[in-house]
Amino acid sequence: MRARRTLLLAGIALAACASPVNSETVSLSSDAFADGGSIPSRFTCDGEDVSPPLTWSSGPDEVGAYVLVVRDPDAGGFVHWVLTDIPHDITALPAGQGDSVGIPGQNDFGRVGWGGPCPPSGQHRYEFRIYALSSPLDLDGAPTADEVDRALATNLMAEGTLTGVYARNR
């Protein structure tokens, strides 16, 4: 019994060491839409297809960089935007200017940079996730979201989410 308890406690301690503690959050918002609100067509394939304006609270004092990833969970996690190594002192991206800050990555449209909402049918959700990191990722080329996800585990400090919705008018 004592050996089982010791093994259980050792397993719990090991799991705690392997899992990053990430209790801090970053507040992410947009002047273009509220959390859970409709994304204006200007930022979609039906409009100018420019990135929306985004603002976030600064993360922990030791933040070295930010990463932004936008996915459509209603389309199997389709990636609309990957933006890595946003400088630590930047806490806003103006509309249409996001790809000029940080390093844009590969989206699932097969392009580098922002690819706005363009659901094939119905209303879809778009999850904008900002990650505060202890240091830049320094990934080569135009990284994919999968490459970013793998690299995040080593220096993730805090994160935040903003969700918008969009349905095409056909």
* SS3 labels along 95-112: CCCHHHCCEECECCCCCE
H-helix or E-strand spanning residue 72 = strand 65-72
Q: What's the pLDDT score for residue 169?
A: 84
Q: What's the pLDDT score for residue 44?
A: 97
Q: What's the pLDDT score for residue 78?
A: 98
Rounded to two decimals, the pTM is: 0.85
Q: What's the pLDDT score for residue 23?
A: 54
Residues of the chain with pLDDT under 70: 1-23, 170
CATH class of 23-167: alpha beta
Q: Kindly write down the DSSP assignment for every residue of 93-158, as one continuous string.
A: E-TT-GGGSSEE-B-TTSSBS------SSSEEEEEEEEEEESS----SSS--HHHHHHHHTTTEEE
Q: What's the pLDDT score for residue 24?
A: 77
Q: What's the pLDDT score for residue 158?
A: 94
Q: What's the pLDDT score for residue 60?
A: 82
Q: What's the pLDDT score for residue 45?
A: 96
Q: What's the pLDDT score for residue 20?
A: 44
CA distance 79 to 70: 6
Q: What's the pLDDT score for residue 58?
A: 83
Q: What's the pLDDT score for residue 19?
A: 37
Distances 85 to 12, 47, 65, 75, 143 between C-alpha atoms, Å: 34, 28, 5, 26, 11
Q: Side chain identity at 23, as an amino acid letter?
A: S
Q: What's the pLDDT score for residue 153?
A: 86
